Amino acid sequence: MSTITWLLTSPRIPAGLLTVEAWDALHEAEAVAAFHESPTVEAIRDAGIDVDLVEDAADFLEEGGVWIVGEDGDEELREALAEYVAGGEIELEIIYGSWDPPGARLLDLVEAVARLHAEDGCPWHREQTHASLGTYLLEESYEVLDAIAGEDPDELREELGDLLFQPLLHASLAEDFDIDDVAGDLVEKIIRRHPHVWGDADPEDLYENWNEAKAAEKPERDHPADGISRQLPSLALAAKVIERFNDAGEPLEVPELPEGLKLEPDQVGEFLFAAVAAARAAGVDPELALRRTVTERAGIERIDIQEHDEVEPD
């Protein structure tokens, strides 16, 4: 009875980075074979180990040895081996020479996006710009929220993938940075903002540490509303502005509710809905009205004018 060692490797890991167990098996094997050339085959040969390329694995199965599994999984041979093992004709040992780390398929996604933008890639994708893709980024974000609200894990998985596609597209279009720059910046930011995880800060102070890290990253921001996206819907803008001013210890003066009115959590939605209806009845666009009030009370318009004036003319 021959013994076959089925050597599995990941194409996403540098070919020579094999486990000690894999190298031991390769060095001790009387025969090492594969169907096709591959980076793994080349790396094993560079280590001084002979690798036979065969079209028919029959002789190899009789003699035994280490089989280097191809990227396609060598499905037909695998099925034949299963039959031999079931019949007691072959003893099979499976060794993982390398395996995909978490997030390995992201490398495939990066490669796929690069292929779309290649000269012989997709004409539609090659014509896009950051501005033209902006709408899709917003749409996909809302679809993720719909999936969360629907509590459907399959739909959420799909929509998260569609959303993940967007930053990769933008990074691929950029001339001054790539997706590695984006990921690297994000990793550094995460570490900076979590000194209680990557340091000895007290977890009880995590909120203060987060805000201090953000302030250190953007020292030019001297107004609580600096950095808040003006593209937010007015209700989200209002909530964010109020939060920022509270964090800065400068709470905004907010209009009081009518005397005697106290809202319970389950009444807030109805109250806002009624406010929208009342605004429409008064002939007012509620979105614009709230945005105008937030802008005036927070002084956002003054910030934007100042920032515009500071921009040097072309």
Interacting residues of 280 by C-beta distance below 8 A, sequence separation 6+: 286
Mean pLDDT for the chain?
Answer: 89
Would you say the CATH fold of 104-176 matches that of 2-96? no
Please report, for the chain, the start and end positions of each structural domain, with discontinuous segments joined by +.
2-96, 104-176, 220-310
Tens-digit pLDDT profile for residues 133-157: 998 998 999 999 999 999 999 999 9
Tens-digit pLDDT profile for residues 2-33: 899 999 999 888 888 999 999 999 999 999 99
Tens-digit pLDDT profile for residues 36-74: 999 999 999 999 999 999 999 999 998 999 999 998 999
Question: What does the alpha-carbon distance between residue 128 and residue 57 come to, in Å, rounded to a whole number?
Answer: 49
User: Which homologous superfamily is 2-96 in?
Assistant: Tetrapyrrole methylase, N-terminal domain (3.40.1010.10)
pLDDT > 70 in the chain, percent:
96
The answer to whether residue 314 scores a pLDDT higher than 70 is no
Crossing angle of helices 286-298 and 300-310, rounded to 10°: 70
Question: What does the alpha-carbon distance between residue 166 and residue 174 come to, in Å, rounded to a whole number?
Answer: 13
Cα radius of gyration (the chain) = 30
What pLDDT band is residue 302 in, cutting at 50, 70 and 90? low
The residues that bridge with 7 in the sheet, in sequence order, are 68, 95
When pLDDT is averaged across residues 192-201 and rounded to a whole number, the result is 93
CA-to-CA dists, residue 169 to 48, 105, 183, angstroms: 42, 16, 14
Q: How does DSSP classify residue 35?
A: S
pLDDT of residue 310: 44
User: Which homologous superfamily is 104-176 in?
Assistant: MazG-like (1.10.287.1080)
Give the three-class secondary structure for 133. Answer: helix
Q: pTM of this prediction? A: 0.67
Tens-digit pLDDT profile for residues 230-271: 888 889 999 999 988 888 888 888 888 887 788 899 999 999
Question: What does the alpha-carbon distance between residue 37 and residue 10 come to, in Å, rounded to a whole number?
Answer: 15
Question: What does the alpha-carbon distance between residue 168 and residue 164 come to, in Å, rounded to a whole number?
Answer: 7
